[in-house]
Amino acid sequence: MIKSGYKYEEMSDVLGKSVKAIRGRVFDYYLTERLDKVRAYIDNGQFGDNLPDRKIKYKRFMSDEDKEKIKVLLSMLAGEIKCVAKENSNVESEYADFWQKEYCTHWDSVKGCTANEKDCDSCTSFNRIEPQFCKRCGITFYERKSNDICKDCRAARIKQAQRKYAILNQRRM
Ligand SMILES: [Zn+2]
């Protein structure tokens, strides 16, 4: 009906569904409700063909596979950004003499001391990092952020996902 130039109201009459529901369905697929644009996307295909790439803000309309792919890409990007931020930060050299910071929840490798203490020797805000247990491998690890699994297991999981999508993409080609 879209290809034949039906309007939403007409489709609603034929399908017995509300205009709102049809608009919603069209938007889920093509990220626009404008039927001329949708027609251009569909071209000679069927409804559901030639879908536009989904930006991250449309994550809710992605397939589970794409969502997983985005998650891997985002965590890679976050890692890169963290690396750059660390390189541009001078706090590691400023606090180089204070080994205690590595065990303190207030230490941030980019921002430095988040409790605003000048050094670890005169500090009264020290707060020891609590041990956490990896649900995947059972190891005890120390991290400021609460995590279900350890760093190594997170890296392994990302590698696994990357391999999976490399194989999936090969099949597609
Ligand atoms: Zn682990």
Q: For residue 133, how far is its CA from the centre of ligand 1 (angstroms)?
A: 8
- Residue in this structure with the two tokens 């590698």, named with its chain if needed: 159
What would the mean pLDDT of 110-134 be, rounded to a whole number?
93
Report the distance separating Cα 71 and Cα 66, nearest Å: 9
Q: For residue 102, how far is its CA from the centre of ligand 1 (angstroms)?
A: 20
Report the distance separating Cα 171 and Cα 146, nearest Å: 37
Q: For residue 155, how far is its CA from the centre of ligand 1 (angstroms)?
A: 9
Q: For residue 5, how far is its CA from the centre of ligand 1 (angstroms)?
A: 56
Average pLDDT over the chain reads 90
Q: What is the pLDDT of residue 151?
A: 93
Q: What is the pTM of this model?
A: 0.48
pLDDT at 98 over 90: yes
Considering only residues 167 and 128, tell me which one the structure prediction assigns the higher pLDDT: 128
List Cβ neighbours of 128 (8 Å cut-off, separation of 6 or more): 103, 104, 105
Q: What is the pLDDT of residue 165?
A: 76
Q: What is the pLDDT of residue 137?
A: 96
pLDDT digits 0-9 by tens, 24-68: 999 989 999 999 999 999 999 999 999 888 788 888 888 888 888
What would the mean pLDDT of 81-104 be, rounded to a whole number?
90
Q: For residue 18, how far is its CA from the centre of ligand 1 (angstroms)?
A: 50
Q: For residue 110, how far is its CA from the centre of ligand 1 (angstroms)?
A: 25
pLDDT at 160 over 90: no
CB 74 within 8 A of CB 55: no
CB pairs under 8 A, 24+ apart, for 52-59? 58/31
pLDDT at 11 over 80: yes
What would the mean pLDDT of 95-108 be, rounded to a whole number?
92
Q: For residue 121, how far is its CA from the centre of ligand 1 (angstroms)?
A: 33
